[in-house]
Structure 1
């Protein structure tokens, strides 16, 4: 009996909910408001001509790697520039006075004599040049080692370096290389130790970074 009463109550509740929906009329579409489209006036913007952008210089260009010939020429130019700077420095050093100036007569006798710093520098440079020339390793015609001092594209510059090395007491000579270069050598020497010693003295004498190598057969 309870179950029947519960079923009747449920059916009545559903009828109360859904029956009115069956008899309601749908909303009239004409009664809905029409959409309104609003177009605002355009905003005035000042117009002016703008130049076309230009790409920066070098954009899109790819640097090509240097060839062996170009690297040799760059090295030769750098060595030639260093030699010119060293030659100018040696010329200025040679032009300096060799003795210090005498003290002025008006100075009191008790004041010690002052040494000229320029004269001291010149004397030290002369002593350094004389010591380097006198201590240059003796060359051996049958030696297997030599010092490659530099390579030059201009043969005249190579001869100038040869003369400069000979003035310092080194046995210098030239030999043609590939790529139209002229190489300057010092030697030959009986051992690699003598060649290394000569390379160090060449560095201190003419400011050239040499390279010890075997004499080409």
Structure 2
């Protein structure tokens, strides 16, 4: 049999449970109805679609048959020049000391060329490489380019009107920097 203490605890628990259940209803002074006004949504109205017929002129079919097809003018688009892939060969030793070539105005209609050595995120690396190449007598510079992944620093050597001279410098540039360069057309302003 259960002890009197256990009986008292069970009895108290039952009384507390009944109080929690029934006291809120007893203490609620006014019986307020919580019925909310429900609005009925009307059914979708029936739509009637009126179909109309289009009347064409009597000679419409004759006009369609007589109509001449218009010729389509096709425009030819020129694609931008692709970068030239260059194999690294023997160094010719030209323009190693950085002397400027005096050719006059005869090359103004020819495109200039540069060697693009690489694109870097770290500006310090680009500055170090530019200083190293300029110390060796190369006309090196960097340019900031915005790409999909943020800003990049492009390292370039040049420009020069003679692409063969730049091709001759590729082997020494590779030895100095460890980068394989590409010969690309020079554009004075960034793309």
Q: Same fold by TM (over 0.5)?
A: no
Q: Which of structures 1 and 2 has the bigger CA Rg?
A: 1
Which structure ranks higher in relative contact order (CA pairs < 8 Å, sequence separation ≥ 6)? 2
TM-score by length of 1: 0.35
Q: TM-score, structure 2 length as denominator?
A: 0.40
